[in-house]
Amino acid sequence: AGHELTRRGALLVVEGLDRAGKSSQCEKLGDYLSQQGHTVKYIRFPDRTTPIGKLIDSYLRGSTNQEDHSIHLLFSANRWEIAKSIQEDISNGITIIVDRYSYSGAVYSAAKANPTLSLEWAWQPEIGLPRPDLCLFLSISAEEAAKRGGYGAERYENETMQTRVRELFRSLFNRQEDVAIINAGKSLKEVSKDIQVAVSKCVERLNVIGPLRVLG
């Protein structure tokens, strides 16, 4: 007697270009949801702490080279190795905020313009992973992003890649459901308000959405 059903957590993803404000907004969203009484966990991809993540880290820092398809599959494997723990946390009532996910995975690889690495090809290994209840796409212009500082030293942090990534994010999100496009060019506070509105709507609908789904 007296045992109540645990309400499942929500799987919330924050996506966008470098310097769109993803990490800052993940932190603000975590604080907001905690204040609302949710148990919240923050994770990020790539998760550079695992053995696969260490290979990815040295690739991103330019210490090693990897064939385009091969590194793509490692990024995906880095999500698959954590997929089960995501499912478990969600069913135990924990809301997970994810800093980059499959969308970055598909788009950054496809932006390399390798003739055998299309967006469609790049999406395939993501099929079956936990599906976000909501993906918040922080949309920012090249001009606004540039105001937030120059490019870092990592691979992909250059104008050619960023321009292609911006275009590919747009075409990917045209085809995805459960995406909220957030204007990330506003102030930190305004952006976080817009995110809170979108997330609250999603969290209220969780009982309608039902159990955690998988990416198709």
Q: Please report, as ranges, the residues that interact with Mg ion according to CB under 5 A.
A: 22-23
Report whether the peptide linkage leading into residue 115 is cis, meaning its omega lies within 30 degrees of zero.
Answer: no
> Tokens standing for 182?
């957030």
Which residues, 157 to 216, sit near ligand 2DT by CB under 6 A?
Answer: none
Residue among 53 and 125 whose Cβ is closer to ligand ADP: 53
DSSP element (H, E) containing 60: helix 51-60
Site residue total, ligand ADP (CB under 6 A): 12
Question: Dihedral angle at the C-alpha atoms of 55, 56, 62, 64, nearest 10 degrees?
Answer: 30
Among 11, 12, 15, 16, binds ligand ADP (CB under 6 A): 16
- Decide whether 185 or 206 has the Cβ nearer to ligand ADP: 185
Contact mark string toward ligand 2DT, 21..50, x via CB under 6 A: ------------------------xx----
Select the residue interacting with ligand ADP from 13, 15, 21, 202 (CB under 6 A). Answer: 21
State the DSSP string of 113-174: --TT--HHHHHGGGTTSBPPSEEEEEE--HHHHHHT----SSTT-SHHHHHHHHHHHHHHHH
For residue 2, give both structure tokens: 């007296």
Does residue 75 interact with ligand 2DT by CB under 6 A? Answer: yes
CB of 37 to ligand 2DT, least distance (A): 29
**Cβ closest to Mg ion, residue 8 vs residue 162:** 162
CA atoms of 104 and 205, how far apart (whole Å): 26
What is the contact surface with ligand 2DT in residues (CB under 6 A)? 45-46, 60, 75, 100, 104-105, 108, 156
